[in-house]
Amino acid sequence: MRVTARHVLAAIAVALIVGPANAAEKVGALQGQVQATLNSVQEANSPYMRVFGVTPPPYGHVDFCMRDPRECSQGVTEETRRAGDARAIAELDKVNRQVNAEIAPMTDMDQYGVEDYWTLPRSGKGDCEDYALLKRHRLIAAGWPPSALLMTVVYDERHEGHAVLTARTSDGDFILDNKTDTIKLWSKTPYRFVMRQSYLNPLVWMSLDPKTAVPSVPMPVAGMRHTTQ
């Protein structure tokens, strides 16, 4: 695969997180850990996702955090799941439906002239990741801990890159998606899960597939049409 400037920027971001002096050492250790889990798989019937190691972040998210670092602040450095009670699920449902109704779907190429541009959709139009970013922003403003709201990249039914928001609750990992107004457990979606943010550090991304953990390359997230189910 041809190495592009986007790949280099993503690699630099990972190096900055772990520290340039020991980045190679830590990546080497992570590769060893990932190798030991290559025979592992996601447990399809589990309400919780499993992570398999660090992976380079999507270029669009790296660029977004450089432009709007407040949206990528670390918060509490411990696992924080929101109670999965009826009130929490209702709040997720409300925000998911509101944002899906408010934002008109438009690809990054049509709106910005580039393949992948993550941003809060202040224009009222956006791509799949923009829906997810706005949902995360509103839920954090409503009191949800950032560590419970993780940007997530999947392959959809067409095997195209797609971004959703994972809400981590005590009852499981729920998906907020611009393609449907229905909140679903991750295991009830038709997607193959690729990567998501770390709950400990939103600048770090974790592989959800043992065969694509370190090393890996960033993937663009295609524009997706909003359809209601």
Rounded Cα distance, 223 and 108, in Å:
7
Residue 221 in any domain: the answer is: no
Q: What is the CATH number of the domain that holds 199?
A: 3.10.620
Q: Which helix (H) or strand (E) holds 54?
A: strand 54-55
Rounded Cα distance, 224 and 64, in Å:
19
Contact criterion met (CB below 8 Å) for 165 and 151 = yes
Residue range of the domain that includes 131 = 5-212
Q: What is the pTM of this model?
A: 0.78
Residue 229 in any domain: the answer is: no
Provide the domain count of the chain: 1
Residue 121 in any domain: the answer is: yes
| Residue 12, pLDDT score | 45
| Residue 211, pLDDT score | 77
Residues 6+ apart with CB under 8 A from 124: 102, 103, 104
Contact criterion met (CB below 8 Å) for 169 and 148 = yes
Residue 228 in any domain: the answer is: no
| Residue 209, pLDDT score | 87
Nearest to 193 by CA among 54, 38, 42: 42
Residue 218 in any domain: the answer is: no
Residue 80 in any domain: the answer is: yes
Q: What letter does residue 82 receive in the DSSP assignment?
A: B
Rounded Cα distance, 211 and 40, in Å:
9
Residue 71 in any domain: the answer is: yes
Strand partners, 116: none
Contact criterion met (CB below 8 Å) for 199 and 80 = yes
| Residue 70, pLDDT score | 92
Nearest to 131 by CA among 92, 176, 91: 176
Residue 222 in any domain: the answer is: no
> Cα torsion for 167, 136, 52, 77, to the nearest 10°?
-100
pLDDT lower than 70: segments of the chain: 1-41, 75-79, 212-229
| Residue 147, pLDDT score | 92
